[in-house]
Structure 1
Amino acid sequence: MNKPCLSPALTACILGLSLSPVAHAEFLKDSSATLEARNYYFNRDFRQEGASQNKREEWAQGFILRMDSGYTEGPVGVGVDAIGMFGFKLDSGGGTSGTNLLVPDRSGGSQDYSSDLAVAAKARFSKSALRVGSMQFKNMAVSSSDSRLLPQVFRGGQLVSKEFERLLIDGGYLSQVNHRNSNDFEDLTINTSSKRGVTIRGNNASDAFGFLGGNYRVTENLTAAYYYSNLEDLYKQNSFNLVQVLPLGEDQSLKVDLRYARSTDDGRSNVDNNALGAMVSYSLASHRVGLGYQKMSGDTGAAYIGGTDPFLVNYVQISDFANKDESSWQARYDYDFTGIGIPGLKFMMRYLNGDNVDLGATAGDGKEWERDTELKYVFQQGAMKNFSVRWRNAMVRSNFASDVDENRLILSYTLPLL
């Protein structure tokens, strides 16, 4: 059953009735708008014999218009946020679809173009803000994916409060999701991919996800966070995070990021997981070196809403290393070329290795590794300012999932409109 929400027409009507001439001026003065043109090439080769599809390869152009209004004057200010999305196919065919860049068609290929509009009404009172409608989310409980042509958006509401010093309180409710390769809203699901060991009794669908949590800045360099979330009938989760940044002198620092999530079933699943993760990063001038560790325990792998970006230390370009009983480690290196006089150019390389995946009593233990390389340049001035070129390369090898070589080339230009 779908939960009611504000349609774009109803949102506009409410805002139009509430704006006096004076309030209208404030509403516009603090507004912002940007238009991003995103050109995306995606190539994923499957390297193992007997693969049902040898390659996924598509090229597409997208446009993302983001408009955030200010608030009207008064004890309770109102406003509206909107995301307009349009994407069209530049190249796809010959059985190479399935990259999630484009909306699939009934023939097994991809549609020529797609468009969507996400609108949310918002209200501000004191130091709290409420949004209701269609929007993106980003917190420990749920994080919208924006790693393809167009972003993933949810239908629901969110209240964020900063009434208390150093404390942020965040609560919300989601009813449906519009995935990054879809034109339609649909019910939420739990991720059951790979060797999760998650089983569902009946439908893998829910139209109710609630969360409540926040973060507290204990000191200038120490932040603690907690979220409770519940995907109705499928799982409940308690998530904890502790981040400490230790200045070590001029241009040096040490960052420690600890994460733990306890997930259990909520009636129609067998979810039972403990996800422990830690990442330690040392920065020296333009260099940063990081080491990470992640451990899954319990009867299943990690639980999170399908299609979203999970709050896991070892969630990377292709894999999340969150299968049943999996242990994994990560080594990462970042370099900012500003240090040698090339501002805007950044490089990253990481290697992850996972093992002890439960493949069943007779199949032995599963193993996998992934290597990611990324190079990104953002023009800093002139006519090309805000234009970025980003290349992402990944290689995955596994004894229980697909062997993959992947390349992504993303050209992006963001034009400020307001």
Structure 2
Amino acid sequence: MKATPLAQAIALAGVGACLTLPNLAHADFITDSKASLELRNFYMNRDFRQDGTPALPTVTGKTPSETRSKAEEWAQGFLMRYESGFTEGTVGVGVDTIGTLGVKLDSGRGTSGTGLLQADRETGEAQDSYGDLGVTAKLRASKSTLKVGTLMPKLPTLLSNDSRLLPQSFQGGQLNSMEIDGLTFDAGQLNRVNQRDSSDHETMTLTNSYSTKTKSTGARGINFKSGAVADSDEFNFAGASYKWNDQLTTGYNYAKLDQLYDQHILNLAHVLPIADQQSLKTDLRFARSSDDGQTNVDNKALGAMFTYALGFQSFGLGYQTMSGDTGFAYVNGTDAYLVNFVQIGDFAFKDEKSWQARYDYNFAGMGIPGLTFMTRYINGSDVDRGAGLSEGKEWERDMDIAYVVQEGDFKGVGVKWRNATTRSNFGNNLDENRLILSYTLALW
């Protein structure tokens, strides 16, 4: 594919940074820099409980003839991060880098495909190792920063996924500006994605339930027009959030995945103090998505989450509803900005209505700081599965237990167990466990 002007700009910016920065090593650039090494040891087991279990990971040019009862892998991840300060002057210059490496500890042809490791396109087996090196050039003037290169955006329209061994990243440019007190503005363009289990920088596609065989996303109801290309090398975004006071923040964000969809998102977050160590948080989200020429995307997504905090515990109730001709659309591999986007499901199929009940507890209230617990239950119904098919229903139950050592020789070492169960009359039935050991060492 021909390089876009943005891709050329990224390359030039990277070369320029490498040539220029050695001559601009002012005190702020050095003294404000920081580096760290993060270690992640990740075990994941996904047990398929439905009849007609999923096929083995696809091998290029071949149709899987075998099915499997589980996906199970164990891996070690290394993430080296460096963030410089900025040079002195009206326009400060800096550079960030991230180097990632994932190493297979245990996997096999019959158990690969958890998303922890990169699969070989010829054999379908997990590769022994994979990784990437990302470089980001950055410029700062006043309270505005422009970054070009490797990005991991955390915006309502695009939430980079970091739920496996290595994080998902993008190539592009992003401007962040906070010139007006309380107002945060972001805008930019992305053209490539490196998925969390990949070292390839590829064009972007729609939501991960897309089928290359049928050119549709199943119960999501998203289809492509005849002759349409199902990927894009241009994701444009812009948005602003305004913090009115310590209790209220509102925002508007827009995004376009070229040729595939347009999206407008409104959000409101409000925290109402009730009494000492008591508050009620309201989180409202509305998204309007429509096609951009090559699809039939047409969706309105409305979500609300109410969380009552009482001391060291909190109770949450959420509701989410989809309307329109399709389900919710978002970039494949990313997290969706939905109140019912959880460990396995997003509850965002065509016409789906879902509710959530959640409970959190911080064991610092029992004298065990660093230990936390979360559990939630989500139930979805009214999914339009198409003509002649019954209403789709699904549910999911999640539980997280996490502990971070607070002192001693192992201070900062974290362990987390994530357990989930989901059942559906139109998708996978899964029992899932994830065990994650992590530690971040500050190098300077």
TM-score strictly above 0.5: yes
User: Per-residue deviation at 1:20?
Assistant: 4.3
Closer, same or farther in 2 for the Cα pair 1:168/1:306, shift >3 Å? same
Pair 1:135-2:138 in alignment: no
Indicate if the aligned counterparts of 1:41 and 1:408 stay in contact, CA closer than 8 A: yes
Quote the residue 1:374 is aligned against.
Answer: 400
1:354 alignment counterpart: 380
> What is aligned with 2:14?
11
Q: 1:136 deviation in Å?
A: 0.7
| Residues 402, 417 of structure 2: 8 Å contact kept | yes
The letter of the residue matching 1:190 is L
CA distance in 2, matches of 1:139, 1:293: 21
Give how far 1:211 is off: 0.5
Aligned pair 1:57/2:59, yes or no?
Answer: no
Partner in structure 1 of residue 88 of structure 2: 73
2:26 alignment partner, SS class: helix
Mean Cα displacement is larger for which, 194-203 or 6-15?
6-15
Residues 284-315 of structure 1: per-residue CA shift (max 9 Å, x gap)? 00110000000000000001101100100000
How far apart, in 2, do the equivalents of 1:154 and 1:199 lie? Answer: 25
The match for 2:48 among 22, 46, 49 is 46
Task: Give TM-score scaled by structure 2 length.
Answer: 0.92
Any conservation in 2 of the 1:5–1:132 contact (CA below 8 Å)? no
Following superposition, the deviation at residue 11 of structure 1 comes to: 2.3
Q: Distance in 2 between matches of 1:100 and 1:84?
A: 19
- Superposition misfits of 4+ residues, deviation over 6 angstroms: none
TM-score (norm. length: structure 1) = 0.97
Q: In structure 2, what is the equivalent of residue 119 of structure 1?
A: 135
Aligned match of 2:224 in 172, 177, 200?
200
Asked if 1 retains the 8 angstrom alpha-carbon contact of 2:131 and 2:198, the reply is no
Other-structure match for 1:97: 112
- CA drift of 1:93 comes to 1.1
Q: Say if 2:191 is the partner of 1:178.
A: no
Provide closer, same or farther for how the CA distance between residues 41 and 194 of structure 1 changes in structure 2, counting only shifts above 3 A.
farther
Gap change, CA 1:251 and 1:194, over 3 Å in 2: farther
Question: What is the aligned length?
Answer: 417
Q: In the alignment, which residue of structure 2 is the partner of 1:150?
A: 166
- TM-fit CA distance, 1:194: 4.8
**Structure 1 stretches lacking a partner, 5+ long:** none
Structure 1 residues 327-338: aligned runs within 5 Å: 327-338=353-364
Distance (Å, rounded) in 1 between the aligned partners of 2:219 and 2:410: 45
Q: Confirm or deny: 8 A CA contact 2:10 2:148 kept in the other structure.
A: no
Q: Do the aligned partners of 2:13 and 2:148 also contact (CA within 8 Å) in 1?
A: no
Distance in 2 of aligned mates of 1:215 and 1:115:
34
1:388 to 403, 414, 419: 414
**Deviation at 1:24?**
2.7
Identical residues among aligned pairs (%): 55
Which runs of structure 2 are paired with 1:393-412 in the superposition (5 Å)?
393-412=419-438
Give distance in 2, aligned partners of 1:7 and 1:260: 33
* Equivalent position SS for 2:230: coil
Partner residue in 1 for 2:288: 262
1:417 aligns with 2:443: yes
Q: Distance in 2 between matches of 1:81 and 1:238?
A: 31
Name the aligned partner's letter for residue 300 of structure 2. N
2-11 or 379-388: which moved more? Answer: 2-11
Q: Conserved in 1, the CA contact under 8 Å of 2:17 and 2:95? A: no
Task: Confirm or deny: 8 A CA contact 2:13 2:137 kept in the other structure.
Answer: no
Q: CA deviation at 1:360?
A: 1.5
* Secondary structure class of the residue paired with 2:88: coil
Q: Secondary structure at the match of 1:350?
A: strand
RMSD over equivalenced CA pairs, Å = 1.4
- Cα offset, 1:157, TM superposition: 0.4
With over 3 angstroms needed to count, the CA separation of the structure-2 counterparts of 1:409 and 1:203, relative to structure 1, is same
Q: How does 1:295-310 map to 2 (within 5 A)?
A: 295-310=321-336
